[in-house]
Structure 1
Amino acid sequence: MDFHPAVTSSDPGIEDRIRRQLVDLVHVAEDKRYGAVLDKIGDASIVLIGEATHGTHQFYRARAELTQQLIEEKGFNTVAVEADWPDAYRVHRYVQQQSKDTCAERALVDFQRFPAWTSRNTDVVRFVEWLRAHNLPLQAEKRAGFYGLDLYSLYRSIEAVINYLDGVDPDAGKSARQCYGCFEEIYEDPQQYGLLTNYAASKNCEEEAIKQLMEVRDMAMAKARSDGFINDEEGFFYAEMNARLVLNAERYYREMFKGRDAGWNLREGHMFETLEALMTHRTAKGHHPAKAVIWAHNWHVGDGRFMEMMTKRGELTLGQLIKERYSDNSYLIGLTTYEGTVAAASDWGDPVERKIVRPALPESYEALFHSIECPVFFLDLKNEEMAEDLRKRRLERAIGVIYRAASAAGLTHYFYAQLSGQFDGVMHFDKSDAVIPLEPTGGLFAVDVPETYPTGI
């Protein structure tokens, strides 16, 4: 991908052209706030909503509000987030009225590992309670689900497969224990597993992971052949997705010690595979096409072909994979901010802090949007005029779970991108605030190497 020359915010007339095209999201009735965004999304069945940080209240609130309207007005039935499958599935069971959890905060309790605040915060609690209330009067097949796309839950997914099989077929559960016993020989630490197998200090478990996935699938097919249906279709799906995750996580942890590129692409590929499996499952369950909204960092949501760091490294993104497969049936939305505060840590495993987000660098998209002097707005990047103006190469800020403000004065938290290729639309919040974690300090913030290592995104 050829990148256009860098420009400054003094491009002749660009501010005026943006002002003409933007949709003011402040001076509008609350129930009509995202009307223009919904119009631009049109008939797309996959909508990705990003975030420039992992800890900004305005991003979480906007994603939740827009998702609620997508569910209510356009029939979306799948919410898929940048989170681990088994942890998110507990939330799914809660919003489906299928769990013993008495509140959203309890349903989110499995999100224990660093960075817990990205899921255990007040904005997510409010959305989960809304989704449960929305689903309550609906028939089971019409209820919207909540799922995780990520692959970091290697040992928790192993446990989930075994526990499920123990309940439906003790012999199959015993077989799974023997199969997955390969992992137990290398401690319950996926980074340690990757390190030892990568340097041939221990045997890898890929063969065993493939075998167990095949056994789960064979069991489901045998049940369908003998009974004409699968009595616990949802349970088999949950077990199969965990078995698939074990296989992909095993590969990921081996590859991460060979360099970022291979591990990153495995992770993005797993997210895409999980989404496609969810779409197929939801379509079969609801007897009509699935429609999914995805929450993830801009780094995943954007089309990597227009992000210079990705193209240089040969890395893919979830947004790119979706655009290549679904093209006009998808819509990618990026979220940006100029300054404010953010929930983030200073280092791996440190407690979450409320940190100052410095004003964006002058050569950035965020600085350009700040010059528009509109506190919150949406831009349709498919608009021909905007597409041309915002195709030019500029800096873009990305804050992960680690934020070191002093280093942000340089380029540590920035990369070059072509915004109108990266996203279909963008929401800008000129000033923003940190999310409120359910546990601001201690407790849930472990001191081991986080599962988002080494990128923090």
Structure 2
Amino acid sequence: MKKRTKHSKIWCIVFGLLGVIVLIVLIFMHFGGFSTGENANPEEFVKYAQSVEDITVPENAKIIALGEATHGNVEFQQLKLDVFKQMVENYGVRALVLEGDYGGCEQVNRYIHGGQGTAQEAAAAIGFDIYRTDEMAELISYMRQYNDNVSDDLDLRFYGFDMQRYAYNFQFLNEACKEQGIDTKILQQLMDGEDWNSEFDYPTRIEIITQIKNELKSKKDSAQAIHFADMLLQYCELQVITDTEGSTLRDRFMAENVQWILQQEQQRGCERIFVTGHNSHVAKWGSFDSMGKLLSSEIDNDYYVIGTDFYRTRCNMPTNSSTKRTNQVFYSHNPLAKTAKMAGLDICWLDFADIPENSELYELISQYTYMGTLGEGYSWFMRLLPPSYRMFQPPAVLYDSMIFVADATPTKIITEK
């Protein structure tokens, strides 16, 4: 009986230790560590934190970029509209440039200029699930209502700088070619192939589209048609290289597209554009040649970036199967975001230019700091590797200012009926 009791105690100890280990692992997986990270002095933080309505940008800024730490939170989508309104009212911006398909965004542009359909249908045309939301529909509705009440020379325009979709680019290129009297028979053959699984290979497609582009160059008022062709060429080039090379090439294309859009706006007499996309694309520096890094190096002080981060997020993300989405909780471990939370600021803006060099806050924005960064993809394995959803960089190197959201809530994707 004594021997059996001794074994029972041993097993109790073993199971107890296992339970403690499991609890420790679960805590680590939930918080991305054993706490929610460090923080600064909330009282000092409040001295410099301002509301989003107080955002100002330098007068020389030509490209004003707003980043988002995640694609799946309501607050980051709402900030697109909130900041854009201020750029329209205070800085004469007339163009919103989105991380979305150029052709799909042209469909939105036609809608906000009186086109048929609904704001939700226009948002769906952009081509990414992340934009099938009430927040994006609200932004589009605002732009349409604004245009309904101003003269043509003051209208707002909607652009996309991405090239990962092709349907609308094909459609609008085909329409433009017909208007210019260019034979579209072979282009139509390309369009008719389901998911491009037709008899044409990508080099052949590139050759055909290049030929059409060259024909358009001899026509008047063909700049946008040529850009539709360029988007298709960029799409084709992305399909024939590796994923690693594709990420770098995509950002290079995006930088070129943003500059093209800026030129179009300047020809209309508008000196500034408002660009919005993921933090990783708009940041001024990165481990690879990102869009923001390229733009910053080319136009320097004319590029102004507002980054974003969260203290805690419940983010809407697709699972690896891509058939379902899930809401997952993450903590950024950003001491600035945590301090905003501790100070009771739900959403606030911190202008790095206002922070004195001899302050604790200046040290935090200048030194390497954890910041949250979530894209379109979730795997439980991320829980074991916090660097997979955080970046470790000096905030002031990446951005000119930042907006912090204490608790970010998940978006709801509107499914097609």
TM-score, normalised via structure 2 length: 0.81
Cα distance in structure 2, aligned partners of 1:17 and 1:324: 33
Deviations 1:155-191 (A, max 9, x none): 542343123312441x43236457x58x95xx6248x
Gap change, CA 1:137 and 1:375, over 3 Å in 2:
closer
- In 2, the alpha carbon distance for the partners of 1:294 and 1:91 equals 16
**Deviation per residue, 1:89-108 (Å, 9 max, x gap):** 111011122x223x312323
Partner of 1:165: 177
The residue number in structure 2 matching 1:294 is: 275
- Residue 83 of structure 1, aligned match among 81, 93, 100: 100
Is residue 328 of structure 1 aligned with residue 304 of structure 2? Answer: no
Which residue matches 1:147? 159
Change (3 A) 1:392 1:66: same
Please give the secondary structure, in 1, of the residue aligned with 2:218.
helix
Deviation at 1:74, TM superposition (A): 1.5
Q: Is the 8 A contact 2:368 2:393 kept in 1?
A: yes
State the Cα RMSD in Å: 2.9
Q: Which amino acid aligns with 1:107?
A: A
CA distance in 1, matches of 2:400, 2:209: 38
Deviates more, 1:206-215 or 1:245-254: 206-215
- Contact between 2:93 and 2:273, CA under 8 Å: does it hold in 1? yes
Equivalent residue in structure 2 for 1:278, among 239, 261, 267? 261
Could you tell me the TM-score, scaled by structure 1's length? 0.74
Partner of 1:230: none
Cα distance change of structure 1 residues 329 and 81 upon mapping to structure 2, 3 Å threshold: same
Q: Give me the identity figure in percent.
A: 15
Could you tell me which of 390, 402, 418 is aligned with 2:377? 402
> Does residue 415 of structure 1 match 2:391?
yes
CA separation of 1:167 and 1:127: change in aligned 2, threshold 3 A = same
CA offsets, 1:296-340, max 9 Å, x none? 011111122xx3xx2xxxx21121122112222221011111113
Equivalent residues in 2 for 1:300-315, closer than 5 Å = 300-304=281-285, 307=286, 310=287, 315=288
Q: State the SS of the aligned residue for 1:347.
A: coil
Deviations 1:340-378 (Å, cap 9, x if unpaired)?
Answer: 32221112522333x1323334x7654455455533221
Question: Which residue of the other structure, out of 425, 430, 442, is the alignment partner of 2:401?
Answer: 425
Which residue of structure 1 aligns with residue 21 of structure 2? none
Instruction: Give the aligned partner of residue 324 of structure 2.
Output: 351
Q: Post-superposition shift, 1:152?
A: 0.9
Output the CA distance in 2 between the equivalents of 1:297 and 1:141: 30
**1:146 to partner: Cα distance:** 0.5
Aligned length: 377
8 Å CA contact 2:372–2:391 kept in 1: the answer is yes
| Residue ranges of structure 1 left out of the alignment (5+ in a row) | 1-7, 26-32, 221-232, 445-457
Q: Distance in 1 between matches of 2:206 and 2:232?
A: 9
Shift of 1:438: 2.1
User: 1:67 offset after TM fit, Å?
Assistant: 0.4
Please say if 1:218 is aligned against 2:225.
no
Change (3 A) 1:344 1:9: closer
Conserved 8 A contact 1:335-1:427: yes
Q: Hey, what's the Cα distance between the residues in 2 that align with 1:319 and 1:216?
A: 30
Q: Does 1:391 align with 2:377?
A: no
Identify the residue that residue 16 of structure 2 maps to in structure 1: none
Deviations along 1:215-273, one digit per CA (max 9) or x if unpaired, are 222223xxxxxxxxxxxx4xx33322110111112112112x2x41x212221122122
Distance 2:346 2:123 in 1: 32
- Tell me the secondary structure at the aligned position of residue 206 of structure 1: helix
Q: 2:185 aligns with which of 164, 171, 174?
A: 174
Who is 2:148 aligned against? 136
In 1: Cα distance, 2:317 partner to 2:155 partner? 33
Deviations 1:375-418 (A, max 9, x none): 32211123343454312112222111213466235222122211
1:351-390 equivalence runs, <5 A = 351-353=324-326, 355-361=327-333, 366-367=337-338, 369-382=340-353, 383-385=355-357, 386-390=361-365
